[in-house]
């Protein structure tokens, strides 16, 4: 499952992570989720390659951008393709956000 791979890649950062959200989050944390997936190739009428579309968000009260860049580089080095990156500041939570979208293609 794609979530297992993402969790494995994020583990060395020693930051709280969660699928979609983190309950009672610390000052810095990472969320991720799959927003789409699709068949990329078929062989003999069976799906042989699947592409997953993933969003990863780094939230921090201090600096989401440095950690976000590290996470981005780690995912890219492990076969994820960067599709877009955005930065935000959420007034209500007082959190900086480094949002990233990737695609990942996997043989079945």
pLDDT mean over 51-56:
97
Contact assessment for residue 85 and residue 45, using Cβ atoms and an 8 Å cutoff:
no
Structural domains of the chain, ranges and CATH numbers in brackets: 2-107 (3.30.2000.30)
Give the whole-number percent of the chain exceeding pLDDT 90: 85
pLDDT for residue 91 is more than 90 = yes
pLDDT in the model for residue 30: 98
Give the H/E segment covering residue 34: strand 28-43
Q: Give the pTM.
A: 0.91
User: Quick check: helix, strand or coil at residue 61?
Assistant: coil
Q: How big, in percent rounded to 5, are the helix, strand and coil portions of the chain?
A: 25, 55, 20
pLDDT for residue 41 is more than 80 = no
Local confidence band at 39 (pLDDT 50, 70, 90 cut-offs): confident
């Amino acid at each position: 499952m794609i979530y297992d791979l993402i969790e494995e890649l994020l583990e060395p950062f020693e930051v709280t992570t969660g699928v979609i959200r983190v309950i009672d989050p610390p000052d810095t944390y990472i969320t991720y989720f799959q927003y789409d997936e699709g068949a990329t190739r078929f062989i003999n009428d069976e799906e042989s390659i699947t592409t997953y579309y993933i969003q990863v968000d780094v939230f921090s009260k201090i600096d989401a951008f440095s950690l976000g860049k590290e996470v981005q580089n780690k995912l890219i080095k492990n076969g994820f393709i960067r599709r877009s990156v955005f930065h935000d500041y959420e007034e209500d939570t007082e959190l900086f956000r480094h949002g990233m979208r990737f695609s990942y293609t996997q043989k079945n």
